[in-house]
Amino acid sequence: MVTDLASMLLKPVWYILPSYFANMSPVIFGGGRPLDMGRRFLDGRRILGDHKTVRGFLSGVLIGTLVGCLQGRSLAGFLLSLGAMVGDSTGSFIKRRLSMEPGKPAPLLDQEGFLLFSMLMAYPVEPLDAWSIIFLLVLTPLLHRGTNIIAHWLGLKGVSH
């Protein structure tokens, strides 16, 4: 009974772990040349903005894939990490279209964007049950908030949202 509950909670976290690591890596390893190379979209605003960098994107894919390899699921780990970085960049693309400055918090988009893309990309190789999807959609914003506060304490991030 207790072990059933523990596995119900731990299974989704184990599943998504590469994605979480991917999403945290750019804060530590990011910086330098922006992914959009400084280019602008049709609306005259930056495509993604200065906060989405090549190094951040690649570090996310690399670190997340490494975590997946350690878990013994390298392909799923790679797809989860790539999904996280594509989802994160897509979120920034949407934020720029809404005229939001880089770093400005966008509730839900910031927290669920990378998660949804991760789950979608990895689904073909490792399908996920409905319970786990719902659990992760609830858990992730809570963890996001927690890690942001810690990053703020450590001086890694300018904002504590």
- Give the one residue of 77, 88, 115, 140 binding ligand CTP; rule: CB under 6 A: 88
Q: Which residue has the tokens 């809570």?
A: 142
**Residue 15, amino acid:** Y
141 binds ligand CTP (CB under 6 A): no
51 binds ligand CTP (CB under 6 A): yes
Contact yes or no for 13/139 (Cβ under 8 A): yes
Q: Which stretch binds ligand CTP (CB under 6 A): 2-10, 11-19, 68-76, 95-103?
A: 95-103
Longest dimension (CA), the chain: 57
The nearer residue to ligand CTP, 24 or 122, going by C-beta atoms, is 24
Cα dihedral angle (55, 56, 62, 68), rounded to 10 degrees?
180
68 binds ligand CTP (CB under 6 A): no
The nearer residue to ligand CTP, 51 or 73, going by C-beta atoms, is 51
144 binds ligand CTP (CB under 6 A): no
Q: Which residue has the tokens 């976290």?
A: 13
Map the footprint of ligand CTP across residues 11-30, applying CB under 6 A: 26-27, 30
CA distance 128 to 137: 13
